[in-house]
Amino acid sequence: MRVLHVIPAVAERYGGPSAALRGMVGALAARGVEVTVATTDADGSGRLAVALEQPVVEDGATYMYFARTLPGEYKFSWPLTRWLWRNVRRFDVVHVHALFSYPTLPACRVSRRAGVPYVLRPLGTLGAWGLAHRGWKKRPYLALVERWNLREAAAIHVTSDAESEAVARLGHRATVRVIPLGVAVVDDRAIARRVDASRGELDAPDAPLRVLFLSRIHPVKQLELLFEAAVLAEASGGRAVAITIAGDGEPSYAARLRAVAEALPLRVPPRFLGHVEAAAKDAAFDDAHLFVLPSSHENFGIAAAEALARGLPVLLSEGVAIAGEVRAAGAGLVAPSTAEALAGALVEIGRAPAVLGPMSEAALALARRAYSWPRAASQLESLYREVTAPG
């Protein structure tokens, strides 16, 4: 089977969607699916240092990069458009990632003209928060352009039940398919060693609770709430909270966050690691007792799933789509998006750190059961066969 994935950009700065796309196509390629990715060279205001308009093989998948013709978030690319018109008929199915971005427009239109079924993944943009954010331009664009793309899609790929309901409310329930994203699951022995070490450290009442935020730095992540929660937790007589922030974002916003963090009356100043990957990313997870994601909205929350796959308990806001699964599995705590609620959770864990052991085991079990890339790739391949079946 030949599958074309179209996504506006895959630079690391774009966070979860880029990371998920790479994991997804790698897992599909491992199953023998012939995968091609068409994308742009966009990397913020700059460009990726990649070969353009020629195949680049990465992890068994073929990437085709095209120059972004105009600057800006819309990621217009005339070379990508030309290539789609000339090549879409070579594929059995097209999987389009994103709404409200230029590459989606030609990918869907060309697929329809060529009679090639397409699967559309909205990336959480159709929920209440997504439509409200810059809604003055999104809602007209949805009515004039994306409504047609959604209506003609062979399937709409969402990654959580919460996102499924949001899409269904717009009238597309029949074509929605829920297939969670995947993550790499870490070896049991490595997890057991980290859990044992954490238990020993937190036996000392004056040892700080080390919490990790690892994600793109953006206002939707509500890091200010985490800061306020840590201050409240310590002020209530709780254990010291040592916050590590891994990730980057828009420079001026990140600088403002650093200034806020420096002024906090915390016993342990927050650490900013910047963007981390490979061994540095593994070390950040391994050094933490708890992963925290206090976002107002996440259509999936891949960083939280990565933490679960390392046996790291999580503290999530109710706005994170996988929060319900975490709560049901006992893999962490879920709290409303208020500083007081998050502080209460931090105090609860700090005073009874023994709960981290069972949570760690539940986290790993949940990741294996629900968020493995081989499982996701199997479900995606089944979806592709469904939409390409005759009749």
> Domain check: are 378 and 359 in the same one?
no
Sign of CA dihedral 71, 74, 75, 77: negative
Least confident span in 186-195, 262-271, 290-299, 368-377: 186-195
Q: What is the pLDDT of residues 82-135, one digit of tens each?
A: 999 999 999 999 999 999 999 999 999 999 999 999 999 999 889 877 787 777
> Domain check: are 132 and 267 in the same one?
no
CA distance 165 to 173: 8
> Domain check: are 157 and 208 in the same one?
no
Q: What is the pLDDT of residues 136-176, one digit of tens each?
A: 778 888 888 899 999 999 999 999 998 999 999 999 999 99
pLDDT of residue 196: 64
pLDDT of residue 170: 92
Using an 8 Å Cβ cutoff, are 45 and 73 in contact? no
> Domain check: are 336 and 219 in the same one?
yes
pLDDT of residue 197: 62
Mean pLDDT of 308-327: 94
Q: What is the pLDDT of residues 177-230, one digit of tens each?
A: 999 999 887 766 666 666 666 666 887 888 999 999 999 999 999 999 999 999
Specify the higher pLDDT residue, 15 or 82.
82
Tell me: pLDDT of 54 over 70: yes
Distance of CA 207 to the CA centre of its chain: 31
Taking alpha carbons only, the member of 131, 198, 225 closest to residue 169 is 131
Within a 10 A sphere around the Cβ of 353, how many other Cβ atoms? 20
DSSP 20-52: HHHHHHHHHHHTT-EEEEEEE-EETTEE-----
Q: Residue 347 sits in a domain of what CATH number?
A: 3.40.50.2000
Sign of CA dihedral 205, 208, 214, 216: positive
Number of domains in the chain: 2
> Domain check: are 83 and 107 in the same one?
yes
pLDDT of residue 204: 85
Using an 8 Å Cβ cutoff, are 64 and 36 in contact? yes
Q: Which two tokens stand for residue 156?
A: 């709409």
CA distance 105 to 282: 37
> Domain check: are 218 and 162 in the same one?
no
Q: Which two tokens stand for residue 95?
A: 């999987």
> Domain check: are 193 and 333 in the same one?
yes
- pTM (predicted TM-score): 0.87
Q: Please identify which residue in the block is written with the tokens 């709780």.
A: 238
> Domain check: are 353 and 378 in the same one?
no
> Domain check: are 213 and 346 in the same one?
yes
> Domain check: are 153 and 19 in the same one?
yes
> Domain check: are 365 and 382 in the same one?
no
pLDDT of residue 244: 98
Tell me: pLDDT of 63 over 90: yes
Domain that holds residue 215: 188-370
pLDDT of residue 162: 87
Residue 301: which region, alpha, beta or left (left: phi > 0; alpha: psi -120 to 50)?
Answer: left
> Domain check: are 118 and 138 in the same one?
yes
Least confident span in 120-134, 184-198, 304-318, 324-338: 184-198
SS3 percent helix, strand, coil of the chain, rounded to 5, is: 50, 20, 30
**Mean of all residue pLDDT scores within the chain:** 92
Least confident span in 139-148, 226-235, 255-264, 337-346: 139-148
